[in-house]
Amino acid sequence: MTHTLPDLIPNTELVLPPQAERKLSNGLTVIAIRRAAVPLVEVRLRIPFGRAPLGAATLLSQALFTGTGSMSMLDIAAELQAVGGGLGAGLDPDRLQISGNALADGLGRTLEILAGVLTDAAYPGEEVVTERERLVDNIQVALSQPAHLARVALLKRMFVDHPYAVQTPAAEEVRAVEPETLRELHADRVRPAGSILVLVGDIDPEQAIDVAEKMLGGWSGAAVDGGIPPTPALRPGALLLVDRPGSVQSSLRIALPALTRTDPDYAALSLANLLFGGYFSSRWVENIREDKGYTYGSHSVIEHFAAGSALVAAADVATEVTGPSLLETTYELGRIASLPPGEEELEQARRYALGTLRLGMSTQAGLAGLATVYAGFGLRLDFLREHSAALAAATGEQVAAAAAKHLAPSRAVTVVLGDAEKIEAQLAALTVVERSAR
Amino acid sequence: MASRIQIPATKYPVERFTLANGLRVVLAPDRSAPVVGVAVVYDVGIRSEPEGRTGFAHLFEHLMFQGSANLEKLAHFRHVQGAGGSFNGSTHLDYTDYFEVLPSGALERALFLEADRMRGPRLTEENLRNQVDVVKEEIRVNVLNRPYGGFPWLKLPSVMFETFPNAHDGYGSFEDLESATVADAQSFFDKYYACGNAVLSVAGDFDVAEATAMIERHFGDVPARPAPLLPAFDEPDLTAERRESYTDRIAPLPAVAAAYRVPDPIAAFDAYLPFSVLAEVLTDGDASRLVERLIQRDRSVTNVGGYLGFMGDEYQVRNPTALLLQAHMPPGGDAGKVLRTVDEELDRLVADGLQPGELERTQARMGARLLQGTDEVLGRALPMAVLELQRGRPELLNELPKLISEVTAEQIVTAAATLRPERRAVVEVLPGAGA
Closest C-alpha to B423, from B275, B246, B222, B236: B236
Q: Does B52 contact chain A (CB < 8 Å)?
A: no
Between A79, A141, A354, which is nearest B147 by CB?
A141
Is A248 within 8 Å of B144 when comparing Cβ atoms?
Answer: yes
| pLDDT of residue A1 exceeding 60 | no
User: Per-residue pLDDT averaged across B218-245, rounded?
Assistant: 96
Testing the interface with A: which of B293, B365, B429 to mutate, by most A Cβ within 10 A? B365
Residues of chain B contacting A38 with CB distance shorter than 8 Å: 10, 371-372, 374-375
User: Per-residue pLDDT averaged across B14-37, rounded?
Assistant: 97
Q: Does B72 contact chain A (CB < 8 Å)?
A: no
Between B109, B147, B330, which is nearest A137 by CB?
B330
| pLDDT of residue B289 exceeding 90 | yes
| pLDDT of residue B3 exceeding 80 | no
Residues of chain B contacting A141 with CB distance shorter than 8 Å: 147-148, 251-253, 328
Residue B43, pLDDT score: 98
Is A5 within 8 Å of B377 when comparing Cβ atoms?
Answer: no
Q: Does A133 contact chain B (CB < 8 Å)?
A: yes
| pLDDT of residue B175 exceeding 60 | yes
Residue B242, pLDDT score: 98
Binned at pLDDT 50, 70 and 90, residue B5 comes out as confident
Interface subset of B 171-210, CB within 8 angstroms of A: none
| pLDDT of residue A226 exceeding 50 | yes
Structural element, H or E, at residue A322: helix A322-338
Q: A224 to chain B nearest CA, in Å? A: 31
Average pLDDT, chain B: 96
Residues of chain A contacting B109 with CB distance shorter than 8 Å: 5-6, 8
Is A280 within 8 Å of B81 when comparing Cβ atoms?
Answer: yes
Show Cβ contacts of residue A425 under 8 Å, excluding neighbours closer than 6 positions.
Answer: none
CB-CB contact of A199 with A41 (8 Å) = yes
| pLDDT of residue A264 exceeding 80 | yes
Q: Does B138 contact chain A (CB < 8 Å)?
A: yes
Testing the interface with A: which of B137, B146, B253, B280 to mutate, by most A Cβ within 10 A? B137
Residues of chain A contacting B78 with CB distance shorter than 8 Å: 281, 348
Can you tell me the ipTM of this complex?
0.96
Q: Does A310 contact chain B (CB < 8 Å)?
A: no
Is A281 within 8 Å of B81 when comparing Cβ atoms?
Answer: yes
Residue B434, pLDDT score: 62
Amino acid occupying residue A57 = A
Residues of chain A contacting B112 with CB distance shorter than 8 Å: 3, 5-6
Residue B1, pLDDT score: 42
Residue A222, pLDDT score: 86
Between B32, B87, B148, which is nearest A37 by CB?
B32
| pLDDT of residue A172 exceeding 90 | yes
Closest C-alpha to A41, from A91, A68, A80, A67: A80
Quick: pLDDT tens for A66-87.
999 999 999 999 999 999 999 9
Is B368 within 8 Å of A140 when comparing Cβ atoms?
Answer: no
CB pairs < 8 Å spanning A and B: 247
Q: A248 to chain B nearest CA, in Å? A: 6
Nearest chain B Cα to A141, which residue? B252
Between B132, B134, B221, which is nearest A1 by CB?
B221
Residue A437, pLDDT score: 73
What secondary structure, in 3-state letters, does chain B show? Answer: CCCCCCCCCCCCCCEEEECCCCCEEEEEECCCCCEEEEEEEECCCHHHCCCCCCCHHHHHHHHCCCCECCECCCHHHHHHHCCCCEEEEEECCCCEEEEEEEEHHHHHHHHHHHHHHHHCECCCHHHHHHHHHHHHHHHHHHHHCCCCCCCCCCCCHHHHCCCHHHHCCCCCCHHHHHCCCHHHHHHHHHHHCCHHHEEEEEEECCCHHHHHHHHHHHHCCCCCCCCCCCCCCCCCCCCCCEEEEEEECCCCCCEEEEEEECCCCCCCHHHHHHHHHHHHHHHCCCCCHHHHHHHHHCCCCCEEEEEECCCCCCCCCCCCCEEEEEEECCCCCCHHHHHHHHHHHHHHHHHHCCCCCHHHHHHHHHHHHHHHHHCCCHHHHHHHHHHHHHHCCCCHHHHHHHHHHCCCHHHHHHHHHCCCHHHEEEEEEEECCCC
Quick: pLDDT tens for A385-402.
999 999 999 999 999 999
Testing the interface with B: which of A1, A4, A8 to mutate, by most B Cβ within 10 A? A8
Between B83, B367, B371, which is nearest A8 by CB?
B83
Is B116 within 8 Å of A105 when comparing Cβ atoms?
Answer: no
Q: Does A137 contact chain B (CB < 8 Å)?
A: yes
Residue A10, pLDDT score: 86
Rg of chain A (C-alpha set): 24
User: Per-residue pLDDT averaged across B357-369, rounded?
Assistant: 97
Closest C-alpha to B381, from B105, B91, B100, B75: B100
* Strand bridging mode A19-23 / A29-34: antiparallel
Is B328 within 8 Å of A137 when comparing Cβ atoms?
Answer: yes
pTM of the model: 0.97
Is A9 within 8 Å of B299 when comparing Cβ atoms?
Answer: no
Q: A231 to chain B nearest CA, in Å? A: 31
| pLDDT of residue B435 exceeding 80 | no
Is B372 within 8 Å of A105 when comparing Cβ atoms?
Answer: no
Rounded CA separation A32/B250 (Å) = 46
Q: A39 to chain B nearest CA, in Å? A: 7
Quick: pLDDT tens for A340-368.
999 999 999 999 999 999 999 999 999 99
Is B103 within 8 Å of A101 when comparing Cβ atoms?
Answer: no
Quick: pLDDT tens for A291-330.
999 999 999 999 999 999 999 999 999 999 999 999 999 9
Residues of chain B contacting A252 with CB distance shorter than 8 Å: none
| pLDDT of residue B109 exceeding 90 | yes
